[in-house]
Amino acid sequence: MNHPPFHLTEPEQRLSSVVFASPHSARTYPADFLEQSILDPVTIRSSEDAFVHELIESAPEFGAPLLVAGVPRAYVDLNRSPDELDPALILGAVRRGQNPRVASGLGVIPRVVSNGRAIYAGKLTMGEVRSRIDRYWRPYHNAVQRLLESAYLTFGQAILVDCHSMPHEAMDGAARSRGRAPDIVLGDRFGAAADGDIVDRIEAAFAAAGLRVARNAPFAGAYVAQAYGRPSRQQHAVQIEIDRALYMNERQICPNADFEAFRTLMRGVIADITAIGQDRIPLAAE
């Protein structure tokens, strides 16, 4: 089966400079990958941002495109640099400095899923790794770049909202130190990836829906925010992490009883975020 590198849903009319993306929610696993893996069908899904694309599927209704990965994170991680190659997994890969993500098994081709559980019994060839990057990573990122360029040409700015989910247990430390854990963590690389005004308004959209929001701790944004956040060029990138316990059973990887209510809540949040990108008159109309 030939898996597409991404799924793009365009609005009937582009009304906003915002682009929504979900790089980690794909759940269609290539058959040869499942044969290679030593994990069971549920465990292999544990690093998915499961159902995130369904939570944000209304974006095109409000004039913003939605880009969703075509293959799962365990197969190729689209929020990593193509140079983040893990020597412990890939034959011929050379260690380049100290990269904690690669060292922990979370390079562009992950060695582990959540809780450090190994995906493979042995190593992968460099040829196989390059094939995955060329077939899936590069087309996805080419699509991101095209969407941002189109937004900038039309509106004079581009805002990438990169949507993820976080394990509920990841917030345990925050709950101990702050009293109540956040529902949402916004990552703008401490201001390097997006203008503060844009991040303020995204935070306000979630807060207006009754959600608790934190910034940059414990997730400040990874490769996508770093690569595409160029506020001095009017190109902004904000990573959004949503507590999985709000809408799913993490152990069984299935929607919980609150899923539909939370999806409806997210529809309102998305409407508010796309409005941020409607502030500028399209350049074509000037």
pLDDT digit string, tens, across residues 19-29? 999 999 999 99
What b/e sequence results for 58-68 when a residue is b if at least 16 CB atoms lie within 10 Å of its CB, and e otherwise? bbbebbbbbbb
The overall pTM is greater than 0.85: yes
**Per-residue three-class SS string for 211-256:** CCEEECCCCCCCHHHHHHCEHHHCEEEEEEEEEHHHCEECCCCEEC
**Helices (H) and strands (E) in the chain — how many of each?**
9, 9
Q: Which residues have C-beta within 8 Å of that of residue 272, sequence separation ≥ 6?
A: 201, 204, 205, 208
Stretch among 148-162, 201-215, 270-284 having the lowest mean pLDDT: 270-284
Task: Please report the pLDDT score of residue 175 as a whole number.
Answer: 53
Q: What residues pair up with 281 in beta bridges, in sequence order? A: none
DSSP state for residue 281 in the 8-state scheme: P
Tokens linked to 21: 């993306």
The pLDDT tens digits for 150-202 are 999 999 999 999 999 999 987 766 554 556 899 999 999 999 999 999 999 99
Cα separations in angstroms, 56 against 28, 159, 210, 217: 19, 15, 17, 23
Task: Please report the pLDDT score of residue 180 as a whole number.
Answer: 82
* CATH 3.40.630.40 holds for 6-76+138-279: yes
Please report, rounded to a whole number, the percentage of residues in the chain having pLDDT higher than 90. 88
The arithmetic mean of pLDDT across residues 24-36, rounded, is: 94
